[in-house]
Amino acid sequence: MTKDEFLDIMGGIDESIIDGTLDISRMDTVVIP
Amino acid sequence: MEDDKIIRLFQSRDEMSISELSRKYGSICRRTAQGILGDFTETEECLNDTYMRVWESIPPAVPRSLAAFAAAITRNLALMRLRARHAEKRGGGETALSFDELEDFVSGENSIESEAERKELISAVNEFLRKLPEQQRQVFVRRYWGCLSVSEVAGYLGMTESNVTVTLTRVRKKLKEYLIKRGYEI
């Protein structure tokens, strides 16, 4: 596997993991340090 | 506006859907693109591409999380732009983002031969990530999905850079073992 293939695989991970992990629905209200 | 109402606007081909998407999640998408591209003009172009891609995708897609759906499209389009920029400057090669630590994780040889194999791998990685302890998942996803630097991940999560680096090393090792055990060559 190449690094780009790995990043592509990561780009396909489930929306629920992205949403849950990054708490993305509430990111607008998060103060970024 | 609620996500399901925005999705219904997309489904009924109402162009207000794009302005509502931009109003609600434009800043998330902008931050995602900016973090990868680091260039204002390209970020804005990437955002426009994102809105068009969402327009083309819904229907038939029905996102469970509109924010994650749009951010994922932005992330992938931004990486494609970065690779194109890098290829133009260097005459080919991998992404310009620095992921030196992956040298020990991947073989460096193309190994994904079909869309079916790609989907299987994504499914295996999803399963692996769901089983990870919360903090390890946060670190891993922010680094390799969000493409944040180690210091940015540390800042977001209130960890030291050293802790982030150690966590990433452990999770990469676990993921490699997990995938090899399931017959994948990485």
**pLDDT, block means (10 residues), chain B with 186 residues:** 94 96 92 88 95 96 91 92 80 64 85 85 96 94 90 92 96 95 86
Cβ(B86)–Cβ(B96) below 8 Å: yes
Predicted confidence at residue B96, as pLDDT, reads: 59
Buried b (16+ CB within 10 A) or exposed e, B57-88: ebeeeebebbbbbbbbbbbbbbbbbbbeebee
CB–CB contact B65 A27 (8 Å): no
Query: Is the pLDDT reported for residue A29 higher than 80?
Result: no
Predicted confidence at residue B186, as pLDDT, reads: 82
More confident residue, A30 or B165: B165
Predicted confidence at residue B42, as pLDDT, reads: 93
pTM of the model: 0.82
Q: For residue B28, give the nearest of A2, A28, A33 by CB distance.
A: A28
Distance CA A12, CA B123 (A): 9
Distance CA B156, CA B1 (A): 28
- Alpha-carbon gap: A6 to the closest alpha carbon of chain B (Å): 8
Predicted confidence at residue A23, as pLDDT, reads: 64
Predicted confidence at residue B94, as pLDDT, reads: 53
Predicted confidence at residue B83, as pLDDT, reads: 85
Predicted confidence at residue B14, as pLDDT, reads: 96
- Alpha-carbon gap: A24 to the closest alpha carbon of chain B (Å): 7
Label residue B157 exposed, middle or buried (CB < 10 Å: 0-12, 13-18, 19+).
middle
Query: Is the pLDDT reported for residue A30 higher than 50?
Result: no
Distance CA A7, CA B154 (A): 20
* Interface ipTM: 0.81
Interface contact B61, partner A, CB < 8 A = no
pLDDT-derived band of residue A28, with 50, 70 and 90 as boundaries?
A: very low
